[in-house]
Structure 1
Amino acid sequence: MSMKSKIRAFFGPTRQYAVAGASNNPTKFGFKILSWYVSHNLTAIPINPREQEILGQNVISNVTQILESIVAKSDLNGYKLSDVDGLSISFLTPPHITTTTLKQIADVEGYENIVKGLWFQPGSYDQEVLDTAEKIGLFSKVVYEDECILVRGEEGLHSANL
């Protein structure tokens, strides 16, 4: 699948988004990327174990809680997850945290059908991250190669007719 099709598949009308490594620091990409989702009226759940709220959004401490809520079709901390078609995640974490997060994802039963896209922002991945994505069967849903959602996101939204 081409990077362009992976970018298109990342977006969807009933998709839930999450930002792993979301930050309250306006100079960090974890803040800028979350702002991008908010400015496009897309619900993105900030994931950060040390924050409570970022940009007025309730923060969830780990991805497992989000996936389990989607599986259970139950809402989580104000997020309506009962009728989403899956989860697309933007990663802004250091590579070793990204690898750990991928392993947490793989521990949730049915994750292959829930995870619709993984966007590894520049700096969030290394070969181990890519190998782990391959090992857990999600590599076909990975956007990487220095692609940034701030640059290519509009195109993805447009090609997904959103």
Structure 2
Amino acid sequence: MTFENPAREEIKKILERADNVAVVGLSDNPERTSYMVAQAMQARGYRIIPVNPNADEILGEKSYPTLKDIPESIDIVNVFRRSEHTPPIAQEAVEAGAKVLWLQLGIANEEAAQIAESGGLTVIMDRCIKVEDAITGPLKK
């Protein structure tokens, strides 16, 4: 089976419905892409939930060591980790009850996609959430 991302119209609906975005691999370094993307999404009205075991707080939000440690609902799990590290993250996303597994631009893994889809999640791979949000619509605020 060859993976195919949802149509742009479906991605737009996903982003419109999303509030909480857990960002796995979010760096506390403002020079890193993960930080810049998460900061931009936060400025557009999304609640960013950092997932980084080495930080207490990022972008003014409490950071959690894993998805399992987040005590609230997760709409999108946005992943900034190398492709080979994504299958366990997909499994955690399923267990955490997330709705969407989103692997950032340059990240794709068929096994992770299968795990997430089997668990009922929508999967988006090799796309930048910031770019897609900018293309699909107005500020959430």
Equivalents in 2 of 1:14, 1:129: separation in Å?
21
CA contact (8 A) 1:9 1:117 kept: no
Per-residue CA distance 1:67-107 (angstroms, 9 max, x = gap) = xx33xxxxxxxxxx6xxxx5112111122332111112333
Tell me how far 1:2 sits from its aligned partner: 3.6
Match of 2:13 in 1: 9
The DSSP-based 3-state class of the residue aligned with 2:127 is coil
* 2:139 equivalent to 1:151: no
Q: Structure 2: state its 5+ residue gaps.
A: none
Tell me how far 1:24 sits from its aligned partner: 1.5
The DSSP-based 3-state class of the residue aligned with 1:11 is helix
**Corresponding pairs, count:** 136
Identity of aligned residues (%): 24
Where do 4+ consecutive residues of structure 1 move more than 3 Å? none
Equivalents in 2 of 1:59, 1:52: separation in Å?
5
TM normalised by structure 2 equals 0.79
Name the CA shift for 1:44/1:59 in 2 (closer, same or farther; >3 Å).
same
For residues 107-146 of structure 1, what are the structure 2 equivalents within 5 Å?
107-108=95-96, 111=97, 115-138=98-121, 141-144=122-125, 146=126
The amino acid across from 1:103 in the alignment is Q
Equivalents in 1 of 2:18, 2:7: separation in Å?
22
The amino acid across from 1:133 in the alignment is A
Match of 2:35 in 1: 31
* 2:93 equivalent to 1:105: yes
The amino acid across from 2:46 in the alignment is L
Equivalents in 1 of 2:10, 2:116: separation in Å?
14
The amino acid across from 1:24 in the alignment is D
Between stretches 120-129 and 20-29, larger displacement belongs to 120-129
Match of 1:50 in 2: 54
